[in-house]
Structure 1
């Protein structure tokens, strides 16, 4: 039964994971960069856990011409719950240090992985709705054209190149997931080696 407990190193790593979840609240999680000849410096839309940031007003002005809805933090319920989700994940990471059970950490990793999948689906839905539900009376209409930004990576949207990539907070969340995976790999591998 002793081998079911996690090591001191894993406990330290869980403290780092908790710090990453908490720290992600203060940095943008995702960014969509827009590049076009008329904006050589580029435009950036940043998604924080609790708000939309970056060049929102300029992007909203451009969206108006092509019939896309304007972006406002209050229109997305996700921004009201994500800070609590990340705070909860940080708290659970600290509690796991005291619980110190491999299965509990594994359960948390699976829960976090499911959250990432659901968040990706929600982000795709968000992008799809904004890119396809266009005002038919917009000043600029291109038959058959939609303006859905990529979930991740690059996509050409008329004369704009759109890059959708993680920002600092997103990389922190990625690091948290990778560290959790490392803890599980290390703990279960160690258990197998010491079982014999």
Structure 2
């Protein structure tokens, strides 16, 4: 059976257009940091250090200064193994080879979203939307679990030969603050993470409208109608229906 690309007008439907937009967001998210960390330390009383981590082995910001601080407690940036990062991994750093595969995960979910949007008929489109949403949730769920595990591993395998001894193991959170020795850190999501969340949200909306050919304009009109916009406008009246004015009433006396 020959495959036919859906007509351009079909991509105005939310169930087709939103997956395409999500696909673009997943790829664009690779250009921005996924995780941001602000660090206050007594060694830098006049400034706050900042780190930005990407979906691939790259750390931006004050990573040199942070590496100097972390070595005192024996905490090191991970070694991605298969991808040379923009820093030199410490021999005692934990191996995190899956970090090198991060871009592949984003490109894979992006390609799947685009593939679903190009489904030749409604039946396969709806099946694709279900599979896309479940698969994307599984991919990012596994990624988040793996990241949290690696953070636990890094914080509980401190270098025993580090200058500062007796530091208890810790787990840096993906979101929140934590304090180790005289270093206080604040973790937040980066722009890339928010773009990914938005892309997943678009897939959820597309799934919601899987049985409808509604467009964004249709949804906007329905919403405006529901909230009653325009209900207070008076209908046009014909000249014969106009009420008699005061002057006309007085003339008829």
**TM-score scaled to structure 2, two decimals?**
0.66
CA distance in 2, matches of 1:164, 1:18: 27
Pairwise mapping of residues 25-174 of structure 1 onto structure 2 (< 5 A)? 25-39=30-44, 40-54=46-60, 55-74=62-81, 75-99=95-119, 101-142=125-166, 145-174=168-197
Which has the larger helix fraction? 1
**1:79-111 deviation line (CA, Å, top 9, x unaligned):** 321112211211111111111512211111111
2:19 is aligned with 1:19:
no
Question: Higher mean Cα deviation, 157-166 or 69-78?
Answer: 69-78
Moved beyond 6 Å, runs of 4+: none
Bigger Rg, which one: 2
The count of corresponding residues between Structure 1 and Structure 2 is: 185
Contact 1:31 1:46 in 2 (8 A): yes
Compute the displacement of 1:35 (Å): 2.0
Contact 2:14 2:209 in 1 (8 A): no
Name stretches of at least 5 consecutive residues in structure 2 with no aligned partner: 1-9, 82-94, 214-253
Contact 2:23 2:111 in 1 (8 A): yes
**TM-score scaled to structure 1, two decimals?**
0.83
CA-based RMSD of the aligned residues comes to 2.3
**1:50-92 deviation line (CA, Å, top 9, x unaligned):** 2231222222211211122344454432232111221121111
Contact 1:132 1:148 in 2 (8 A): yes
Name stretches of at least 5 consecutive residues in structure 1 with no aligned partner: 192-196
Which has the larger strand fraction? 1
Structure with the larger RCO, 1 or 2 (CA within 8 Å, 6+ apart):
1
